[in-house]
Structure 1
Amino acid sequence: MLEQPEFAITDTAALRALVHGHGWVTMVAAAAGEAPEVSHLPVVLDPDDPHGLTVLGHLNRADPLAQRLGDHDAVLIVQGPDGYVPATFYEAGPYTPTWDFVVAHLYGRPEILGPDDTYRLLSLTVDHFEAGRPDPWRLSSVAGYAHRLLPGVLGFRMRPSRVAGKAKLSQDKPREVVDRVVRALRTDPVHRNPALADAVRAARP
């Protein structure tokens, strides 16, 4: 990823919020001289690291990525709001269309978890994604069944050794232009994108 200081996310709280709100991530790992393996999985922030970016995640042991997990470095790609921004949204110029986005890359070597810690992370994952429901479902309601599935699950913890966060959200445009982009992202019949609109507004100069 092209790292540009003007778009960098360096605040740990902002990065934690990104992971917390966008827990479906892409993971990439590769051994030297081999093709990279890529997979997609849910992650949650590790409650034992309340101020950091340690994450917990799990894969099916049959996933090709699981075969090398823990032996090599990996990267987790956390994707926040993103979308196409037509040039006409600026109502000024000359400008060209662009793609605004929020993303973070978490680099590190995953630590494989044992059965008890894997069950705990599965329970935490369910609790996280059920949190907004009026009557949250709990993994403990099928504890016996869940424990029978554990041999097929590979849980891991990853404490990033390096983090690259980027929020490219029209910050390089004048404030009045950014305000027009926000309005258009909320109302345009084709490229309406309320989540991106909120992110652009929060980042405006």
Structure 2
Amino acid sequence: MLIRVDDVYKHYMRQQAEIEVLRGIHMEIAAGEMVAIVGPSGAGKSTLLHLLGGLDRPSSGTIYYDNWALHQFRDEELADFRNRHIGFVFQFHHLLPEFSALENAMMPALIQQRAVHEARRDAQQLLGEVGLGDRLHHRPGELSGGEQQRVAVVRALVNAPDVVLADEPTGNLDQAMGQSLQQLLRRLNEELGHTFIIVTHDREFAAQMDRAISLVDGKASAV
């Protein structure tokens, strides 16, 4: 099992009141799965994704990647683990406007201190696979919304992570672009074997995945 979430709770203090967002989450994700997380706004979907990605820590409970327990890592160790094992795609692409598509896609590999020629080779190959082989040197402002989000997907994949976590990756796109990106993610899962965990409000998109997990009132259940 690639990921195991064991009795995870998450709460915040707000105006001296405790807000409980996640209440005893149990879930398992196998390598190569494509899993949707669905549920109403405010149910804790993004919070769960942040915990799975090591961007935040649970109030209690444990998240395991293979034999690694995330809570055992110090902050700098966790940052290195994220860079090597986890890719992120957000609703807003967060590309650096002064850099080209290729340079943006290379960034995680450079942070990992991989050789520049290797980072360029892998990013260029992936950009070609997502249909951007002729847009390598275009800056984000010269790309459409769908093209920008494809660059963000390649950036998430360039280090060949164990899992890609995506938070509403099509939520900021029109219907046609959104459907195109959905098909791309499904193809990458099937052809390259990447594990995807995707938060989405789109029930049709969720239905295309291997399975869906519903999050309601901070608790998870199978759909």
Q: Which category describes the TM-score, using the shorter chain as reference length?
A: under 0.3
Greater relative contact order (CA < 8 Å, ≥ 6 in sequence): 2
Q: State which structure, 1 or 2, has the greater radius of gyration over its C-alpha atoms.
A: 1
